[in-house]
Every structure is written in structure tokens, then in C-alpha cells.
């Protein structure tokens, strides 16, 4: 169990962590989320007694880290995968650490096997890829068979197989009753790995709750309804009926309706009562990523702006298309529209954005409007971005983001 | 026991990295080879020297001439042993394993110092015997008065150079910064201060000038230092202790 109480860290004028209180419990994977520079790594270092808090304290099993008896056998940490002397072999690196913690040398070969680095154990770590470095760092964290494990961005640089391995490793460690505290930027990964979330922004606690609670508290689930395209009047009819029943209805680009505030069976009943046929009625849940973006949008320190390239702009050759703005670039609110409770447009995600949670839909699906007349879906949700002036009808709506490079290449 | 664990670990650390092994070897080779070269040259020069120079000719001291360059390799060794932790970021892993920072630092420095002492003593003896062999008729014998003291002192001198560098590196953390200060300091500034009349008196209290007094057997003409050979080594030791204390206080206080 890790417990922070009023943890505060200042570097001169800059407050890296402010009044942070949380508990990380054993038997679960606790995800530690926050934008860059939000104080995650500083907090991790304070947990390990490397940085001294300006105020407050953090304890592991009731002890501040430096007073923890036999600390390296109780706590294992991966802070930085590159914190290895490049001229030292993986095995020697782990051997130094094992000897430092009073761990027998044969444990080194065990953990090398666990992380799958036996073959390169005697190679200098200089030649290691980031993924191999992460494996070596994880091996170091596992050396002492500790009850408490800290991982700072463990999946950075890992291949899909490695990511799956780390995910299963974390879950297995937690299932053994250990305390597992993992920071990551990869929301989709956290959604699959973590049971509990601690979210910070600008060094302050934003949330401390289970993953499912976090998603439902910070996002709105909605239903998508599609009426027959051939009979637009049915759509009007359903809209008014649903609004009357207390639902919030939003028309979508391709003619579907987004409904919040009504459960699915109720929508079906209302449609039936109104005598409207439905071509689609589907539940949609926001992803952890969306929920996270909404929560942290005010706490992001480093935000990209539009690259105007005004100094580099070449006059467009005649007939060339101006490049389309890419969603998410320099459009601060792209990810985080106002929440539906405030009456805004929920999840004005760029349509067609492929998402694992089904928030997007294929732009030219079987239910879609005829593709030719459809405005480019990527140009739509960007009121702040310069709209492509009178763009000729886009080439057949791009199905994958990779297609976005085409107009750029045309320049 | 935490200290023995750190000692074992540090021994592995030094052995498993090429740079520390190479710099130590370089210190040995440069000190011995340059010592032999200069003794060989001064044997030929001896007959052309002035009477006064012949009287103050110190065959023991001249066989340690290679240390002026060899000590630079010792500095690099001392700096690398400590600052490798910082430049690689391993210091965090190390301090997480041994939260007692004083134990960690001093055990680490004890290992490196022990190794440096063994290597430096061996270097000193080899440099002396080979140097005397080069000097032919003008040679000193290990049994002559004060000679054994000078040879052992030469080994301690090189060790203390490394220890002082470790202390400086523990304070500064960056290897580039540490070497950028230590190299010119020992190679240039100390020499300049020691050769300019106005600053000579201050220069004598610098670690290398005070410490090198232990290697002199024949006193120089007109030299009236305020300390003897062991006093000089004591001054050098104080410098090393001060550097280590500074490193310890900063390590204790600072965020890792």
C-alpha cells in the first residue's frame, strides 16, 4: 500500500506537485495518468525517497521509503529505461543491482528469462532498442520479488507483443496481491490494464476512482439512431417525440441521431409509439481516452498550435488543392467538447475517426448518405482551423487517416 | 549489511565497464613510460648540468616525472567512477536500492579508492625501479634514507588525486563539468600559481603541490615550505576530505 498525504513539491517558483493525497492499494493495477509535466515522475521519485517533498509525506506500508526495512526487497521500480550504462552488459547491470540489494546472483538469470532477454544478456546495453531497455528495466524492478511495484511508462517503445506481455504481467502481479502502480500516456492501454485510476493535472489530483467509474463520470454514453434515409419526415417526427420524452437529440453528419438521456429500450418504445421505423439503434460508450481528454483539457501544459508555415509557404500550383487540416493538430478543443449536461454537442469527434469503442462510424457505410455530396469529414469539426476555401468535393472520403497525406503530397 | 552489498556491487560496476579499466591502465602505462623516458633523458643530461643542479639532483623524484601526466588519467578514473551514476541516471536505481545515501557514497568511494591505491602503489614501485635502472650510475637505492617513504608516498599521492576527483565529481555530478574544472586545475592553474612569485605561497597549498612534497628526497635549493613531506600529504588529504564532505552533504540534501 502506497499512501500520499498532502504531498507537495516545489522547484523554486514552479510547483510540480501540489497537495496530492491518494492511496494505491494492493491486489489491483492502479493507473497513474496525467499530461506531460503534470508531476507523475516527480511523484514517483518522491515515493522512492529520491526527491524530498516540500510538504506532506508519502509512505509505503506505513514507512517513508528511506526508513523502510529492506527496501529493495519490498519495492521494485522502473523509472527510466535508459538509466543504464551503455557499456555494461544486461547481465552485469542486473548483477550490480542484485548485489546492491543483497539478492543472490542466480535471481539475475531468472528475471532475464522472465523478460526474455537471455539471448542478449551478455551484450552491451548500448545496442538495445527502447523496447529491450524497457524489458531490462522491468527485470530490474522484478529482481527483489517485491510486494510493491512502480512502473513509469513501461510500455513506451514496446512492440504489440511486448505491450500484451506487460499488460498480462501487471495483471498477474496484482492478482498475486501485490501493489502495482503504473504511469502511462496510453489511455487505451490503461483501459485494458488498470483497475483503478489516479489522474493528476498540473500536479493536483483530478480523479481517484475505478476505471469504469471514471469513464461514466467523465463522459456521456449515447445511443445512435438511424431512421430510413428515404423518409426524412420520420426523422423529424422521432426527434420531436424523443425531445418531448426528455431526451437530448443531436443530428449527425450522415443523417443519424445522437441521443443522450434516454435508455435504449425507452428509445425503441418511443419510436414504436410514434410509428417510426428504425434502421439502427446502437449503444455507444465513450472511451477512456475521451473521458481523460475531457477531464485534463484545462490542465495541459504543453499544447500544440497550428503550424502556419507562413515563412515556407509556396504559391500553390494552379489546380492544386490546399491541404486539409488534420484533426487534433492545433485545435485545442478537438477532443473535448463541452459535456452534454451543459447543453453542448457531446463528442463532436471527427466522424470516421476509427475508435475501438465504436464512437466513429465508417463515413461511407451501408447506411451512409451517398458519398459524393458529403463534405470531407475531416474538415468538419474544426471551427478554429482555417477552412479549406471552397474546396472542390473531396476525393472519395478517406477511410483511413493515412489517406490524409495525399493532399500534402500534392503540394 | 548495506555497506558490504554496496562494496560488492561497486566492484562489479568498475569491472564491467571498459572505461574505468582503461583509464586505470592508462594511468599505469603513462606514469611508468614517461618516467622511464625522462630518467633516460636526464641521465644523458647529467654531465652537462651545472654544479648546483647536480647537487640537488633527485633521482627518486625524477623517476616519478610521469605522474604529471599519469595523474590526469587518475582524475578521469575518479570522475568516471562517481559521475557515471549521474550521466546514466543509474543513481536513482542505486539510491532506491540503498536509501542510506552516506553508506552508498562512502562504500562506493572506498572500493574505488582501494583499487586506485593498489594500482598506484604498484605503479609507483615499478616507476621507481625502472626509472633507477635508466639512471645507471646516478641511481638511488630503495634502502637510501627517505627513498622508501617517497615511493610509498607516490602511490598515496596518485590515490589521493583520484579521491579528490571523486569528491569533486560527487559535488558537480556532470563528468564534463568535473573534468573541465579538474584537468585545467591540475595541468595549468596549479603550475602557474606555483611558478609566479606573487602566488607561489598560495600555490604550495594546492593539493598536488603539497602532496608531491612526499616524493622529494633531496630538498630543493632555496625552498622554505612551511610543511614537511608528511605535512604536505596531510594538506592534500584535507583537500580530498573536504571534497568528499562537500559531495556527501550535497548528495544528502539534493534530490537525486
Percent of chain A with pLDDT over 90: 40
Where residue A327 falls among pLDDT bands split at 50, 70, 90?
A: low
Q: How far is A83 from chain B (nearest CA, A)?
A: 4
Is A378's pLDDT higher than 70? no
Taking one residue from A and the other from B, the number of pairs with CB-CB distance under 8 angstroms is 86
pLDDT at B242: 97
Query: Which residues in chain A have Cβ-Cβ distances shorter than 8 Å to B256?
Result: 45, 50-51
Closest to B226 (Cα-Cα) out of B202, B191, B196: B202
Burial class of A210 by CB neighbour count within 10 A (0 to 12, 13 to 18, 19+) = middle
Which distant-in-sequence residues (6+ apart) come within 8 Å of A357 by Cβ? A284, A285, A286, A287
B12, B19, B89 ranked by CB distance to A99: nearest: B12
Contact between A191 and A288 (Cβ < 8 Å): yes
The model's pLDDT over A296-320, given as tens digits with 9 standing for 90+, comes to: 776 676 777 777 777 776 666 677 6
Nearest CA in chain A to B99: A66
Give the separation between CA B206 and CA A146, rounded to whole angstroms.
Answer: 49
Give the separation between CA A275 and CA A237, rounded to whole angstroms.
Answer: 9
Q: How far is B18 from chain A (nearest CA, A)?
A: 7
Is A409's pLDDT higher than 70? no
Closest to A150 (Cα-Cα) out of A25, A48, A52, A37: A48
B17, B95, B256 ranked by CB distance to A85: nearest: B17
Helices and strands, counts by H and E, chain B: 13, 0
pLDDT at A342: 41
Contact between B68 and B35 (Cβ < 8 Å): no
pLDDT at A81: 87
Q: Do A96 and B6 touch (CB under 8 A)?
A: no
Give the separation between CA B161 and CA B156, rounded to whole angstroms.
Answer: 9
Q: Measure Cα distances from A235 to A71, A231, A251, A253 in Å.
A: 65, 7, 9, 14
| 3-state secondary structure at position A364 | coil
Q: Show me where the domains of chain B are located.
A: 3-253
The model's pLDDT over A36-91, given as tens digits with 9 standing for 90+, comes to: 888 999 999 999 999 999 999 999 999 999 999 989 899 999 999 889 999 999 99
Q: Do A86 and B88 touch (CB under 8 A)?
A: yes
**Cα A109 from chain centroid?**
34
> pTM (2 decimals)?
0.77
Query: Which residues in chain B have Cβ-Cβ distances shorter than 8 Å to A80?
Result: 89, 92
A79, A82, A97 ranked by CB distance to B97: nearest: A97
Is A269's pLDDT higher than 80? yes
Question: Where are any strands of DSSP class E within A25-170?
Answer: 28-33, 55-60, 75-78, 148-152
Give the separation between CA A371 and CA A27, rounded to whole angstroms.
Answer: 51
Beta bridge partners of A38: none
The model's pLDDT over A7-20, given as tens digits with 9 standing for 90+, comes to: 999 998 889 999 99
The model's pLDDT over A336-369, given as tens digits with 9 standing for 90+, comes to: 444 444 433 333 334 444 434 444 444 433 444 4
Q: Which residue has the cell 595523474?
A: B71
| Tens of pLDDT, residue by residue, chain B (256 residues) | 688 999 999 999 999 999 999 999 999 999 999 999 999 999 888 888 888 888 888 999 999 999 999 999 999 999 999 999 999 999 999 999 999 999 999 999 999 999 999 999 999 999 999 999 999 888 888 988 899 999 999 999 999 999 999 999 999 999 999 999 999 998 888 888 888 888 888 888 999 989 999 999 988 766 677 889 999 999 999 999 999 999 999 999 999 7
Give the separation between CA A166 and CA A112, rounded to whole angstroms.
Answer: 15
Q: How far is A300 from chain B (nearest CA, A)?
A: 25
What 8-state DSSP symbol labels residue A84?
S
Is A379's pLDDT higher than 60? no
Selected residues 53-92 of chain A with any CB under 8 Å from a CB in chain B:
65-66, 68, 71-72, 75, 77, 79-80, 82-89, 92
Q: Do B94 and A72 touch (CB under 8 A)?
A: no
* Residue A187 or A25, more confident: A25
Please give the grid coordinates belonging to residue B239. Answer: 583537500
Nearest CA in chain A to B251: A50
| 3-state secondary structure at position A8 | strand
Interface test with A, best of B89, B95, B96 (most A CBs within 10 A): B96
pLDDT at A360: 40
Give the separation between CA A79 and CA B92, rounded to whole angstroms.
Answer: 8
* Alpha-helical regions (H) of A245-358: 264-274, 288-296
Q: Do B99 and A95 touch (CB under 8 A)?
A: no
Where residue A326 falls among pLDDT bands split at 50, 70, 90?
A: low
Amino acid at each position: 500500500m502506497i499512501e500520499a498525504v498532502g504531498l507537495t513539491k516545489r522547484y523554486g517558483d514552479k510547483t510540480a506537485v501540489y497537495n496530492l493525497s491518494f492511496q494505491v492499494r494492493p491486489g489491483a493495477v492502479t493507473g497513474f495518468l496525467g499530461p506531460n509535466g503534470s508531476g507523475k515522475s516527480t511523484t514517483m521519485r518522491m515515493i522512492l525517497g529520491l526527491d524530498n517533498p516540500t510538504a506532506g509525506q508519502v509512505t509505503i506500508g506505513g514507512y517513508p521509503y528511506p526508513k523502510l526495512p529492506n527496501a529493495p526487497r519490498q519495492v521494485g521500480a522502473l523509472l527510466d529505461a535508459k538509466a543504464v550504462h551503455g557499456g555494461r552488459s544486461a547481465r552485469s547491470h542486473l548483477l550490480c543491482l542484485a548485489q546492491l540489494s543483497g539478492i543472490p546472483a542466480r535471481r539475475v538469470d531468472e528475471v532475464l528469462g522472465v523478460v526474455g532477454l537471455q539471448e542478449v544478456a551478455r551484450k552491451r546495453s548500448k545496442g538495445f532498442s527502447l523496447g529491450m531497455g524497457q524489458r531490462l528495466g522491468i527485470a530490474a524492478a522484478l529482481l527483489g520479488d517485491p510486494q510493491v511495484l512502480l512502473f513509469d511508462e513501461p510500455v513506451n517503445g514496446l512492440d504489440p507483443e511486448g505491450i500484451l506481455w506487460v499488460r498480462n504481467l501487471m495483471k498477474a502481479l496484482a492478482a498475486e496481491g501485490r501493489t502495482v502502480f503504473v504511469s502511462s500516456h496510453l489511455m487505451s492501454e490503461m483501459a485494458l490494464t488498470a483497475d483503478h485510476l489516479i489522474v493528476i493535472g498540473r500536479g493536483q489530483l483530478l480523479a481517484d476512482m475505478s476505471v469504469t467509474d471514471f469513464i461514466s463520470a467523465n463522459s456521456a454514453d449515447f445511443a445512435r439512431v438511424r431512421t430510413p434515409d428515404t423518409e426524412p419526415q420520420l426523422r423529424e417526427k422521432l426527434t420531436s417525440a424523443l425531445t418531448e420524452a426528455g431526451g437530448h437529440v443531436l443530428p449527425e453528419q450522415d443523417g443519424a441521431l445522437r441521443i443522450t438521456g434516454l435508455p435504449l429500450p425507452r428509445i425503441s418504445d418511443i419510436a414504436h409509439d410514434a410509428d417510426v421505423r428504425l434502421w439502427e439503434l446502437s449503444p455507444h460508450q465513450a472511451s477512456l481516452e475521451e473521458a481523460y481528454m475531457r477531464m485534463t483539457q484545462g490542465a495541459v501544459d504543453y499544447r500544440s498550435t497550428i503550424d502556419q508555415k507562413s515563412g515556407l509557404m509556396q504559391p500553390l500550383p494552379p489546380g492544386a488543392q490546399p491541404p486539409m487540416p488534420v484533426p487534433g493538430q492545433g485545435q485545442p478543443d478537438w477532443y473535448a467538447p463541452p459535456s452534454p449536461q451543459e447543453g453542448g454537442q457531446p463528442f463532436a469527434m471527427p466522424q470516421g475517426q476509427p475508435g475501438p469503442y465504436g464512437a466513429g462510424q465508417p463515413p461511407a457505410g451501408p447506411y451512409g448518405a451517398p458519398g459524393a455530396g458529403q463534405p470531407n469529414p475531416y474538415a468538419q469539426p474544426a471551427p478554429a482551423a482555417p477552412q479549406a476555401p471552397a474546396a472542390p468535393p473531396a476525393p472519395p472520403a478517406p477511410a483511413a487517416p493515412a489517406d490524409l497525406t495525399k493532399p500534402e503530397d500534392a503540394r | 549489511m548495506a555497506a558490504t552489498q554496496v562494496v560488492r556491487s561497486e566492484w562489479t560496476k568498475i569491472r564491467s565497464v571498459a572505461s574505468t579499466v582503461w583509464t586505470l591502465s592508462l594511468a599505469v602505462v603513462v606514469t611508468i613510460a614517461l618516467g622511464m623516458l625522462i630518467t633516460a633523458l636526464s641521465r644523458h643530461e647529467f654531465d652537462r648540468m651545472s654544479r648546483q643542479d647536480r647537487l640537488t639532483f633527485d633521482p627518486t623524484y625524477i623517476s616519478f616525472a610521469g605522474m604529471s601526466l599519469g595523474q590526469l588519467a587518475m582524475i578521469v578514473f575518479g570522475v568516471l567512477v562517481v559521475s557515471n551514476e549521474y550521466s546514466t541516471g543509474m543513481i536513482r536505481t542505486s539510491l532506491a536500492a540503498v536509501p542510506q545515501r552516506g553508506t552508498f557514497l562512502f562504500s562506493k568511494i572506498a572500493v574505488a579508492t582501494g583499487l586506485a591505491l593498489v594500482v598506484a602503489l604498484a605503479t609507483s614501485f615499478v616507476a621507481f625501479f625502472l626509472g633507477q635502472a635508466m639512471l645507471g650510475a646516478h641511481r638511488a637505492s630503495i634502502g637510501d634514507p627517505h627513498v622508501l617513504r617517497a615511493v610509498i608516498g607516490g602511490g598515496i599521492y596518485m590515490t589521493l588525486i583520484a579521491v579528490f576527483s571523486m569528491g569533486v565529481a560527487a559535488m558537480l555530478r556532470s563528468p564534463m563539468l568535473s573534468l573541465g574544472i579538474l584537468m585545467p586545475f591540475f595541468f595549468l592553474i596549479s603550475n602557474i600559481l606555483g611558478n609566479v612569485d606573487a602566488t607561489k605561497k598560495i600555490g604550495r597549498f594546492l593539493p598536488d603541490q603539497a602532496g608531491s612534497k612526499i616524493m622529494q628526497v633531496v630538498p630543493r635549493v632555496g625552498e622554505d615550505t612551511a610543511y614537511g613531506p608528511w605535512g604536505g600529504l596531510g594538506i592534500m588529504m584535507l583537500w580530498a576530505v573536504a571534497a568528499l564532505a562537500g559531495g556527501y552533504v550535497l548528495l544528502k540534501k539534493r534530490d537525486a
